[in-house]
Structure 1
Amino acid sequence: MNAKLSADLYITGAAEIITCVANGTDRLGRIPDAVLAAKDGWVLAVGPANRVEAEVDMTGAKVIDASRKIVAPGFVDCHTHLIFGKSRAKEFALKMTRSTVEIEAMGIDTGIPASIAMTREASEDDLFHGAMDRLTRMLRHGTTTVESKSGYGINRTDELKMLRVNQRLSAAQSIDIVSTFLGAHDFPPEIDRNRQSERNRYIETLIHEMIPEVAESGLAEFCDIYCDDGYYTAEESRRILEAGIRHELRAKIHTDAYSGIGGSALAAELGAISADHLNYTSPLEMIAMAKAGVVGVVLPALDFAVAHHRPVVPRKMIEAGMTLALGTNLNPGNWTESMRFVMLLACRNHGMSLEEALLAATMGAAKAIGRDADIGSLEKGKKADLQIWDIPEFEHLIYRLDHNPVVSVIKTGRVLFDNGRRKS
């Protein structure tokens, strides 16, 4: 007779555990009246109490009572600009009634250049403390893994500063930080982007100086770029992403947000791990990305924040066979910390089902950062990253428009919030 495995964490009494592991026609793998056992931060078993207790010894385990509550995987936020200087709240509020031209005529900087200026001015400590505050709130909303991009430095000194903050954040708190180099988020404001010689000079710096240094120092694992009208062309994007690949930085791409200039086709050709935004992506590009295994990251909060005139259409990507992910796109022009809010927008404004949205916020998002072997679902052998919702039915997750249902958050088996209270 095999000896039982010994658990150090036992979640009992849940009205339902949503595993996000497909079971027949149930894509979410919902298990009623379920329990979960974990050891050293990893799931040992999940299912009906009699089956789990037959496999696992609960003696001495910490018990979490989830009676009448729902347990689900922690959210994975796979697209954020977590680190930035001051806010752009004034710009955001004025844009409700005024144009960008009118706002800039008032002496107020706007857009990415404004964020670049504020991030360059901020010290590393200031950036660290600001990001820590945001992470604390993201955790409270059930997020347990966050991808964090650079991209508001746009020079060697300030890009490296942002990436060092990612390292400090990883060491200082419990959310997993996945670091992405986005030195090609824009061109430096001090150059003339309309002069090819100046564009080329910065691109050469990215390829021959910044990317090698980032890779050699282990400051990031992905290389991202903004391929769109007014930013980087498809050919420029190819050169930069291929340089990243040569240095073992896997490719990501912001593309098709405001025009279709070939970024999605490039993502498929290079085998990028994800392509993000995708408002102008063609059906043929969707099929190509599906065949190449490129995850499509859709950003409903961004479309909402900017009142996008061509909101993304996830249904077309799903029908093309793409795996979809959701991200907050947290940034100074789209300050969104709640993945549940993003799910609500994805369902209400973009035609996703609640089941599709949850999978995109967990397993899909984990795939978009190469973490799906360890996170994104609740099953044996994966991290015990989970959240507990105090709602009577799953549908209340988006039905209660302004309600945060999270009462407990557990990260790698460690209870960080319990009954709404932060744990040390």
Structure 2
Amino acid sequence: MLRRLLPLLILAVGVAAFLWLRATRPESPSVTPEERRWRVETLAATLAPQAPVLPLYGEITAPDMLTVTAPLAGRIAERPVREGQRVARGERLVALDDADVTPPLQQAEAEVADREAQVENERVRHESDREALARERELVDNARRQLERTRSLRARNLASQSDLDAARNELARARVTVAARERAVAEHPARLRALEANLTRARAALAAARRDAERSRVDAPFDGIVTRIRVAPGDQVAARSELLSIYPERGLELRARIPQRHQGELLEALSRGERLVATDEQGARLVLTGLAGEGDPAGTEAIFRLEEGGEGLRPGSLAAVSLKRPRVPDSLAVPYSALYGNEALYLMDEASRMQRLTVTRHGDVVRDGERWALVSGEALADGDRVILTHLPNAMQGLLVQSVGDERAASDDQAASDGEDDSGANAERVERAGDIDGGVDGGAGYEETAS
């Protein structure tokens, strides 16, 4: 009988123990689900007029570069400069040999002297012809009177027929001489003009020879840099052949292509008298002076004049510059991570939720060596907290937590924890004092009682 009841007793004890454990188990606290907060970085908006930058790439040119050519054929006697040398105004660049320059000059001077002598000779000849013409006309009159006398004598049979013919021939010869002399006198203005024209031509040749003689020795017309040297001392050069080139140090320009969409605002800014400055990484400053007269579908070249720096720039080299465009009022610079689709960003409202804001992107600005986007919007105001962290699940109303707010809360919690710890320590010290006092009091009481 006991063997039969023992299993049932054990089962009943186990069930009772299970029910007692279940009834006395601790109740677990209820879990309330909380919405996740996404940690983000924010920026307090401060609107101000700012100038976006436009990166440009262009070629350095020297519009005032001077190319020295040989005025005449000859040998190079001097070339004291070298490639890339900086020279001062008036410094000798190159010179031809005097043995090649002097003969053409002397020949031109001799030609002028000869033409001047011919002109003077023509004037003297003209005066002589005029005097001779007056006397030859007198001879014609005498021959005419002689012919009349001979005719009268022949009519009276006092002269022969041969005498009459001789008188006629003498008159004819006198008339021929007068006609030749009159033609010579009449041709004097034409001959004089021809000689004077030859004299003018000779004087022009002399002036050209003197000019070539002066140009055979070339000095620097300005402070500049020598380049493109083609000859060396002793070389034989032909007329009009290139010798070398020189360009002014402060006359360099940059020609960079401007996109079509930016040309209007740049031209408008120039018409208002604004100074648009471009800079490179070495600190060179270039001022926009205007746009080229011709363009193509890709854009038009802008002309920048070097104003400051640029000691390492050379014609023909490529340069990368950043042009400051006209200022945009009430604009804000933000990192590109804050933009969504280049046309929107999110703000953090008072409830720590994301609010989408449509903005207009105007270009780039440089902040601490990095390029940020310059934006503006009608609803953007000072003090707005712009979310800088780019969230892939960004949406309207998403709950976020600013990293700065989280740090501040952590600091406050640490301070409060420090205060609690100090209070607990003080309480523990006070309790220890009470215990010590009680023990001491008891001991004294026992001693007194004894």
TM-score by length of 2: 0.15
TM-score by length of 1: 0.15
Bigger share in strand: 2
Higher relative contact order (CA 8 A, sep 6+): 2
CA radius of gyration, larger in: 2
Bigger share in helix: 2
